[in-house]
Amino acid sequence: MPDAPIAALPPTVAWHGDLDGHLQLLDQTSLPHDCAVLRLDTAAAVADAIRRLAVRGAPAIGVAAAYGLVLGVRAAAPPPGGFLAAVRAAAAALAAARPTAINLQWALDRCVAAAQAEPTLERLLAEARAIHEEDVAACRRIGEHGHHLVPPDGTVLTHCNTGRLATTGDGTALAVLFAAWRAGVRFRVLVGETRPLLQGARLTALELAAAGIPVQVACDGAVAGLVARGDVQLALVGADRVAQNGDFANKVGTYPIALACAAHSVPFFVAAPRSSFDPCLADGAAIPIEERDANEVLELGGRRLAVAGVAARNPAFDLTPGRLVRGFVTDRGLLLPPFPAAIKALCGSGR
């Protein structure tokens, strides 16, 4: 192409209609070169879209799953008394689509609680819409709380995609960058390509270029060397699940960035909404790390890279210890160490 500017793209997640409506997702697997839209009418189709990353990014999959639950319960046409059982069954199926991002389970838990209070489809749809609206607002507040961190004339390193495609608002880490840019701060962004599915090269570069923010893509393996050379003044990434002590899971390749930043005294910050914090986990050891199909590593554009018979490892996320994090930019403010107390207060401040 010249690829479509992001502002011209359809929304990442949209519900069309009322109780008889359907879910529309922007198919991210074909970006940036093609812009395909999915019209989904079943919970199974939503779970499939989440599994194959047609919709991706921790907050966005939470919102999509909440709408998927409406579709699942509607199709089940549960008898009066069986409504909650249908909600729980559909929620369990959707939650199984991807294990690492807590936002998925968090959104479904909220919908189940809403259905317990009022077992109607109307209430489920209202909860999904509330989760959606709150996500947009949370992204805006993350930008407000973090934009002052961006160094004027500096280079910000980010990873994967944490923007308008990963959320239903401006993003998490990218919301901070968009807010700084709107406030008149000028800077450059370096983004790791994010092997194997290239969210950095395909999606983040698209979003930043569309906003007019200078962006360069680097091979993931080049990033530590660029940090060591003094080419990065701030690293800012998202999170899929943050434990009580600040350990967090994010896209594979985040941990090496944190190590390089620690070794070279570059500030390393994480941007994430309250819904990405898991109040049940004391530390990151128990965060489930998704292992995806080996062919994502062994093939590129449908062409085999390694000879037949060679195996691969494909963890989609890695775990970064909280001690490497300078601070968390959340929708409720900036959290600084010691993290256990700050995160406990965040999680206790409501949903």
How many Å apart are CA 159 and CA 157, to the nearest integer?
A: 7
Binding segment (CB under 6 A) for ligand MRU, from list 40-48, 57-65, 297-305, 306-314: 57-65
Binding of ligand MRU at residue 201 (CB under 6 A)?
no
In the complex, the smallest distance separating the C-beta of residue 28 from ligand MRU, rounded to whole angstroms, is: 8
In the complex, the smallest distance separating the C-beta of residue 76 from ligand MRU, rounded to whole angstroms, is: 28
Are the C-beta atoms of 214 and 247 separated by less than 8 Å?
no
How many Å apart are CA 36 and CA 61, to the nearest integer?
A: 18
Are the C-beta atoms of 175 and 139 separated by less than 8 Å?
yes
Determine the angle formed by the axes of helices 43-51 and 58-76, rounding to 10 degrees: 160
Cβ closest to ligand MRU, residue 110 vs residue 241: 241
Cβ closest to ligand MRU, residue 115 vs residue 232: 232
Q: How many CB atoms lie within 10 A of CB 267?
A: 15
Q: Annotated catalytic, 240? A: yes
Give the C-alpha distances (Å, rounded to integers) separating 6 from 35, 68, 282.
10, 25, 38
**Coil/strand/helix, residue 234:** strand
Cβ closest to ligand MRU, residue 91 vs residue 138: 138
Q: Is 192 exposed, middle or buried (0-12, 13-18, 19+ CB in 10 A)?
A: buried
> According to CB under 6 A, which residues from 143 to 162 bind ligand MRU?
160, 162
Cβ closest to ligand MRU, residue 125 vs residue 158: 158
Residue type, 225: G
Binding of ligand MRU at residue 166 (CB under 6 A)?
yes
Binding of ligand MRU at residue 287 (CB under 6 A)?
no
Binding of ligand MRU at residue 167 (CB under 6 A)?
yes
Binding of ligand MRU at residue 57 (CB under 6 A)?
yes
Return the DSSP state at 204. Answer: I
How many Å apart are CA 297 and CA 273, to the nearest integer?
A: 30
Select the residue interacting with ligand MRU from 12, 105, 155, 199 (CB under 6 A): 199
240, 247, 318, 331: which one is catalytic?
Answer: 240
Binding of ligand MRU at residue 58 (CB under 6 A)?
yes
> According to CB under 6 A, which residues from 227 to 246 bind ligand MRU?
238-240
> According to CB under 6 A, which residues from 247 to 266 bind ligand MRU?
250-251
How many Å apart are CA 236 and CA 163, to the nearest integer?
A: 12
Residue type, 101: A
Note the residues at the interface with ligand MRU (CB under 6 A).
53, 56-59, 101, 160, 162, 166-167, 172, 199, 238-240, 250-251, 316
Which residues are tagged catalytic? 240
